[in-house]
Structure formats: structure tokens, C-alpha cells
Structure 1
Amino acid sequence: MDRTAFLFPGQGSQRVGMGLDLIRRWPKLTQAYYHRADELLGFELSRLCWQGPAQELRQMPVTQPAVVLTSVVALEVLRAHGIVPDLAAGHSLGEFSALVCADVLDWTDALRLVRLRGELMMSANERVPGKMAAVVGLDLATVEEMCAKAAAASGEVVEVANHNDFTQVVISGQTAGVDALAELVWQAGADRVVVLEIGGAAHCTLLGGIEDEFAAALEEVEFRDPVIPVVSSFSAAPVTDGAEARACLRRQLTGRVNWTGTALRLAAEGAGRLVEVGPGKVLGGLCRRITPGVATHRTDNEEQLDLTLASLADRGR
């Protein structure tokens, strides 16, 4: 368990002010990444990352490139200090950042793709409103059973979206279906049910209508073979080549995020040190519950980044 894995967070990890610590200490990153991203996307993503407002930052077409950009900048800081991974993985949206880390995607291509991904997901939600909620305290099989009952009772889509750890399952679907599911899991003994600030449904069949358009955009982008293994959060297995990476990004739109399986696979690959790269701080905690004994590090604020640099800068790969 002496290998290092970089973990990249997904939607929900955004916050106003993310990335400010990095550019204040390394101002050259502003032009190299943030200003370039503004030019690529045609709006001031940098301002929204640093100043908000939070309501606008939560919009999917803004959130998704914002999280990926902040993760890529944090990755650049780690690399500049000689900290490089043996493996990488990303939670949902974070898989784009993980593929940048493994040189499968250029960061500029990843940014354009996730901007489109956010636009398509928002449009799908406008057509059929939905939401997501995290169920804490029940196992996957129980939540799957409750989803089937809620779908039958409401006549609406409600499905498992993320298997985050052994007792945390995220569900996704139409609003009334998710509400029906919440009532059932309370009755089944859930500890908590938390509605997520995502802005709509993800990782469920409601997004089937946008899959072909996103797949066409994926085909226009170069996907190289990974230089380090990337464990896909969709398949919970290492991505072997660029074509498979492209396929995983397509299938995750409607497919389940298997973070539990991903964490187990990282441990099986010998990853005992996990570094969450970007604005998030949740993935390390999930991994500690799934695979106790792993060492986790963060980069989501200046204090945590300094601790990570001090702990890992001399290790290299």
C-alpha cells in the first residue's frame, strides 16, 4: 500500500473563493489557467470562482468547469512541488480531471466538454425537473428496493445514482419520485436524508435524451492512452486506453457512480496514500470508511495544501 492516488471531486464541491489561495501564492497561474479559461469559455469563470455569487456558481454550466479548472490548477501546484501520482480517480465530473492528470485529455478540451455537459444536463432538468438526495444509514440493497417501491407508487423515475460508501447512497430522479423515496427510507430506518444542491438529476435515465449529443462532442476530442492508471468511477476498473475513457464518460451520464468499488479497486492496486486534488474534502472521508487505514490528504484550502506539501513533497512517485 505504498502507492499514491490522486482523487478529483465532482459537482457539489464548489464554493465561492475556490482557487484564491492558489493564485495569491502563485500568481502566474492566473494568466496560465484562469484568464485562459475565461477566453476559452467566453465568460468570466475566474470571477465566479473567486467572487460568486453562489447562486450563479451553482448553475451546472458554471459549476462543472469551475470545479474542473480549480482541480487542474491544484494539480499543477502539486506537480510543481514534485508530487505526482501512481494512479488517479475522479468522482463523476471529477473523472474529467483525473483523465487530464493521466494525460488522456488536454485541460482545455476537458473544460469545453464539461461546460457542454452542464448545459445539456441543465436543459434536461428544465424539460423534466428532478433532484438528488443522499441517504445515510442504509445499505445499497435496501435503497434499491425502496427506489423500486417509490417509482411504482409515484409513477416517476427514481434510481440509485451514486454508491458512495457502504451506508451512503445517493438517489436521483423526478421530484415527486425522490420525495416518495425519502419518505420510504425514513420508515426503513435511515439516519439522514439530505437533498443535494446539484440543480437537477444526474446519473439516471432522465438524461438519456442528451447522451447522443454529448457522445458526438466526445468524438470530436482527442483521447490519448493514459500514462498512469485511471480507475473509472463508472466501471470501478482501470481505463486501458483512450477509447475506453471516452466510453466511460458517455456512459456515466445515465450510469451509476460506483465510488465504493472505485475505492476498493484503488486499495487493491496498492494505493495507501490518497490526495484529494481541488476544492473538495469529501472523497478522502468516504475512502477511509471503505478502506480503513489509508492516509488521506487535501488541497481545498491553504492550510490543508501546506500540510499535504510538507507530507508528500519529498516522496515523488
Structure 2
Amino acid sequence: MFKTAFIFPGQGSQYIGMARDFYEKLPECKEIFDIASRELNLDMQKLCFEENELLNKTEYTQAAMLTSCVSILMAVLKSDVKPDIVAGLSLGEYSALVANGVFTFSEAVKLVRKRGIYMEHEVPNGIGSMSAILGMDKEKVEEICQKVSKELNKVVEPANFNCPGQIVISGDKVAVLKANEKLKEAGAKRAIELNVSGPFHSSLLKGAGEKLAMELEKIELHDMNIPYLSNVTGKIVSDKENIKKLLEEQVYKSVRWQECVENMINDGVERFIEIGPGKTLSGFIKKIDKTKEVINIEKLEDLEKLTNVSIKKN
């Protein structure tokens, strides 16, 4: 059976002006920004649309990205194309959970605001780091990270398994830089230190995950309307009672995005629609399986792509 997946990007895809055309032209999209501003006591329009230094600070970025993605989602849902399954990369998992009904947007944006604050402040600025490793297999990256961690008694771990040939590592800055050297010596094409404010998806953020868990306990999850996949397992979540623990662990465990995509394909997904700023996930999918249909909805005019989507479901 031909299936369509809605997928949502994570932190790092943000930019000034994201989703502005949706906000200005469609009332259902504007409403999402208005809800975010009211729930968080922040001017979300100013944060997303006007030049400022806050948008790239994690404690603001995450709420802004969720708001932009869900705003665009509202426009997409008015089309005849509906998702059979949803997933998101890291922060994008919260947009996926709004799309499948587990969270209302109001619940999700308050959670994500707390998540961003906890992640921003768990490790002092300058202590942690992340790097993208290109052209190295998973087993070798894991092996070298383990060796460096043991040698320095510092944390460096795989943080994101994005697609073939791209793995992100995370941890103490000194250990990440040492691992960069070792990985290049072992044959990695490149090791690119990322401009991030913390060692995300590493065990150094376990405390942030535990704080988030306390916030999650205050929320009653709604039933899932359609399946979604967890970053932590790379698999479809069959029991909503597991979601809170998985979201806690997602803060400090590896994001298994490649596995998420491969499992969606194995489940019959032939079309991926990336909803939100940037085209990062579309690029990953093309590297995982170039035969699949990939559509990116980032600008208002992108909605026209959906009118041309052929109905292939049985």
C-alpha cells in the first residue's frame, strides 16, 4: 500500500522570516503564532520575523521552530494530502506529536519552551560541543568515540545517525575535538565542528531530560490518530504510555533518524513531505533511498506542489 509520511525538521533549520508568508495570508496559520505568543508570554511574530539574536538561542529556538512547523502544517492539512505516519528529527518529534494528536499545540509549545531552557542551561556554555562526521561508518565512529572517552575520561558519543555517511557526535568539547582528529586519521572525509550551544543528545544532558520528565508528568497524553516513530528507537511507538519516557530519553540519547526513515519505507511509505523551514530532511532521505518521492513545504507557494501530487493509494 502506498503511504505518505509527514516529517518535521529540528533545531538548526531556523531563520528569520520562517513561515511569515503563511502567517500573513492564512488565518489558521496566524492563529498558531497567536497561541504561542499568548501561552509563552513572548512576541512570537517578532522572534521569528524580525532581526534578533534570540532566535538562535536554544531556549527560544525550539518554541519558534515548533510554532513555524505547526503553522505550516495547518496549511498543509487543508489539502487533500493526509499523512499515514509522522516523524520528526529531535525537536521535530514534537511537531509530529501535534500532527498525530498526542499533544495539542498549546501543550506542545509550553513543553518545548521548557525543553529548550533545560537543554540550554544544563551544561555551561563552552564546555560541550558537537561535530558532523562525514564519510565514516557507524561502527567505526562508535569505536573511536569509546576509545577517546576512555582515554580522556570525558564524554564523546554519537548523537545523530542522520543518513549514510553523516553521523553527528556530541560531548565534552575537548573529547569531541580529539575524536575529530582520530576519525579523520581513520579515514573520515570531514569532521565539522557545529555552531551549537551545547552537547545535545549526549549523556551530559541527562539532567535536562530528567527535568523535562517532571513537566511531561503534568500532561495527559491524547490518543494517537496515526502512527509515529521515536528518535530513540527508530521504530513505531505502539503504546502511548511509552511516549513520556521516550521524550525524556530523546534529550540525552542518540537520534536514530536513518532507522526511522528505513522503517517507514519498510512499512510502505513512498512519499515524504517535509513540513517546515529548510530542506535538511529531504536531503537525508535522498541519501537513504533516492527512489522515494520527496516534497518540501517551506513557503506558501510550495503548497502548489500538493495539488500536483498524484493519488497513489490503494
Fold in common (TM above 0.5): yes
| Identity over aligned pairs, percent | 33
Q: Distance in 1 between matches of 2:196 and 2:105?
A: 23
For 1:29-44, list aligned pairs within 5 A.
29-30=29-30, 32-44=31-43
Partner letter of residue 193 of structure 2?
Answer: V
Residue of structure 2 equivalent to 1:203: 201
For 1:96-115, list aligned pairs within 5 A.
96-115=94-113
For 1:278-289, list aligned pairs within 5 A.
278-289=276-287
Instruction: Please say if residues 154 and 180 of structure 1, whose CA atoms lie closer than 8 Å, have aligned partners that are also in contact.
Output: no
Residue 28 of structure 1: how far off its partner (Å): 5.1
**Alignment partner of 1:18 is 2:18:** yes
Q: Distance in 2 between matches of 1:241 and 1:74?
A: 28
SS for the counterpart of 2:197 is coil
Q: Distance in 1 between matches of 2:59 and 2:140?
A: 33
- 1:38-64 per-position Cα deviation (integer Å, ceiling 9, x unaligned): 1111111221111132x3111111110
For 1:1-317, list aligned pairs within 5 A.
2-27=2-27, 29-30=29-30, 32-53=31-52, 55-126=53-124, 129-303=127-301, 305-312=302-309
Q: Distance in 2 between matches of 1:254 and 1:121?
A: 10
CA change 1:253–1:169 in 2 (3 A) is: same
CA change 1:313–1:129 in 2 (3 A) is: farther
Unaligned runs of 5+ in 1: none
Instruction: Please say if residues 15 and 49 of structure 1, whose CA atoms lie closer than 8 Å, have aligned partners that are also in contact.
Output: yes
Residue 196 of structure 1: how far off its partner (Å): 2.3
SS for the counterpart of 1:193 is strand
Normalising by structure 2, we get a TM-score of: 0.94
SS for the counterpart of 2:101 is coil
Q: Distance in 2 between matches of 1:213 and 1:313?
A: 45
Q: Distance in 2 between matches of 1:133 and 1:301?
A: 29
The count of corresponding residues between Structure 1 and Structure 2 is 314
Residue 27 of structure 1: how far off its partner (Å): 4.5
Unaligned runs of 5+ in 2: none
Instruction: Please say if residues 128 and 174 of structure 1, whose CA atoms lie closer than 8 Å, have aligned partners that are also in contact.
Output: no
Instruction: Please say if residues 11 and 198 of structure 1, whose CA atoms lie closer than 8 Å, have aligned partners that are also in contact.
Output: no
Residue 149 of structure 1: how far off its partner (Å): 2.5
Which is worse superposed, 189-198 or 137-146?
Answer: 189-198
SS for the counterpart of 2:171 is strand
Aligned-CA RMSD value: 1.9
Residue 306 of structure 1: how far off its partner (Å): 3.3
